[in-house]
Chain A
Amino acid sequence: MDTMRDRFAPVASRLLDEDPRVAVVLAAIGTDGFAGAARRHPGRVVDVGIREQLLVGAAAGLALTGLRPVVHTFASFLVERPFEQIKLDLGHQDAGAVLVSAAASFDWPAGGYTHMSPGDVALLDTLDGWTVHVPGHPDEAETLLRHAVAAGDDKVYVRLSLQSNQRALSVDGERFRTVREGRSGVVVAVGPMLDAVLAATEGLDVTVLYATTVRPFDAAALRRATEAAGTDVVLAEPYLAGTSTAAANDALSDVPHRVLGLGVGRRELRRYGQLEEHVAAHALDARSLRERIGSFVGAAVRV
């Protein structure tokens, strides 16, 4: 199976062909995939070199002239390094862009912490007006990328990862979808967490919601799910643990509820190795998830 990142350049290249507003802005990462598109649209494929502050600032300038910039590099260099540019050059200027990251939380563990970005979504959460897509499959990534580019002048983040579910589901770029129904708790599985969450909750009497668009947070879907399944909520996120806890609390602010936020730990692991080893180290594999979800909703059932 190809990866979400394999899918990015061909899809963005087609969007460049289809829509004269689209421009792709790169910083020396992922440029090979755009060689053909750059020949066809030399003005609308820009590589600024290894300059991530300029990457975002230039994208804002492109947007101010009416174009729809699609900006791509690794998450650490796209969201974290030029964060003030995201806040001011896009947010404060009231300019839009589609930021498309690669490498996610720990897609390249052998590369170490310099190329890990578990905090990207939490960081964007400090800003207003961002839509955040976290696809769980390359097909979903393609759909969500198209949604993102078509979203007027909105500010949209698309988080691509090597972590993927086996099968794609249909996604609409807005809502959570129900993939399993139960009566003893709700588990929200974000993007590539779905397969592990489904395996972990096999035989448990819980509702599983699948979230590929996490901002805005689909509070209505969570509330509806809790009406049948009760207000014990587990969030299983492929980035920093607790990133959406506040959003879930806000969704349920008028009813007694409990929220357990599972995700990548804050402490720097200082390990290399394989992606799966990092998933396990952060207790995000199916077996660890079953223990943590089971004891959380199980305790509630016993009360």
Chain B
Amino acid sequence: MTNATYTYTYADLPGLMGLMTGDEKHGPAATSTLDVLWVLYDRVLRVSPEGRTDPGRDRFLLSKGHGPMAYYAVLAAKGFVPVEWLPGFGSYDSPLGHHPDRTLVPGAEIGSGSLGHGLPIAVGTALGLRAQGLDEPRVWALVGDAELDEGSNHEAIAFAGPAGLERLHTVVVDNSSATYARPGGIAARFEAAGWSVLTVDGRDHDALYAAFTAPHPGRPHVVVARVEPKSA
């Protein structure tokens, strides 16, 4: 069965991830992003395998590049990468590493793994699209709550609000893994920088969809998607 002849659903994702891990039970690091990714790719992002180089496409930048099995599973389900690639995960001949490489993975906008790079690149992507009059595409960056500790993200957050980067979106998958809790919480950090902010249950697809598509005129938008704590 290939992804050319079968429409995958959310129910298929554990099986696809199992092709990479040899296991249908997955740790929190692998699945914390699963629902967010699915809702984005299934209902929000205007991207397709055929249009993956279209200048007018939406951009999704996976900044939190570790534990990418959920990402690969969603890309496979949506036809960006062949399902046949999944069992080779992490092997020498596989394009699918434990951190993604944009030059190897069709549909991956950036290579990531080192924390704190995706959001600054997303800022530049939003600036570049705006400079070229491409006002339709939306730019999404997925970061982890611990990843927000990186100073580079603080530079990006502090700039994007006052710069009014309306097409920039961030989803923070919050599994309470940051080393020091952020005073006032994650939302307060973005609010202080002038972002539109919503916090939702990161496992509730309808809540995620509503938060992802909420209007935010003139401001960048962040959705804090709370999932079960990493240590739970």
Contacts and interface: CB of A to CB of B under 8 A. Distances in A.
A23 interface: yes
A53 B152 contact: yes
Q: Which of A41, A61, A62 has the most CB of B within 10 A?
A: A61
B117 A85 contact: yes
Given A61-B123, A93-B111, A48 B155 contact: yes
A89 interface: yes
A208 B157 CA distance: 51
A58 B102 contact: no
B120 A89 contact: yes
Interface string B141-175: 00000000001100110110000000000000000
Interface string A228-266: 000000000000000000000000000000000000000
A45 to B, nearest CB: 9
Interface stretch (A4-12, A63-71, A119-127): A63-71
Contact of B131 (A43, A51, A54): A43
Interface residues of B, number: 31
A54 B128 contact: no
Given A43-B127, A61-B125, A64-B125, A51 B155 contact: yes
Sorting the interface of chain A by its residue count into under 10, 10 to 19, 20 to 34 or 35 or more gives: 20 to 34
Q: Which of B55, B101, B117, B129 has the most CB of A within 10 A?
A: B117
- The prevalent SS among residues of A at the interface is helix
B120 A53 contact: yes
A64 B124 contact: yes
Contact of A58 (B55, B121, B132): B121
Given A57-B120, A58-B123, A93-B111, A51 B128 contact: no
B114 interface: yes
A147 B127 CA distance: 25
B121 A64 contact: yes
A44 B133 CA distance: 11
Interface string A60-91: 11111111010000000000000011001100
A49 interface: yes
A209 B11 CA distance: 68
A25 B116 CA distance: 19
A43 B102 contact: no
A94 interface: yes
Interface string B93-137: 000000001110000011100101101111111111111101000
B127 A94 contact: no
Contacts of B103: 94
A61 to B, nearest CB: 2
B129 to A, nearest CB: 5
Contact of B121 (A61, A67, A94): A61
Nearest to B150: A53
A258 B163 CA distance: 55
Contacts of A43: 127, 130-132
A61 B122 contact: yes
B128 A62 contact: yes
B82 to A, nearest CB: 22
A66 B117 contact: no
A61 B111 CA distance: 12
Contacts of A60: 120-121, 124
Nearest to A52: B155
A46 B127 contact: yes
B102 A93 contact: yes
A23 B122 contact: no
Contacts of B151: 53
A144 interface: no
Contacts of B119: 57
Contact of B114 (A61, A69, A88): A88
Contacts of B120: 53-54, 56-58, 60-61, 85, 89
Contacts of B129: 65
A14 interface: no
Contacts of A54: 120, 123, 152, 155-156, 159
A67 B131 contact: yes
Interface of B: 55, 101-103, 109-111, 114, 116-117, 119-132, 134, 151-152, 155-156, 158-159
18 contacts: A23-B127, A43-B132, A48-B159, A53-B120, A53-B152, A54-B155, A54-B159, A56-B120, A58-B159, A61-B120, A61-B126, A66-B128, A66-B132, A67-B128, A69-B124, A89-B120, A92-B111, A93-B110
Shortest beta-carbon contacts, A-B, top 9: A61-B124, A57-B120, A65-B128, A43-B131, A58-B124, A61-B125, A51-B155, A54-B155, A53-B152
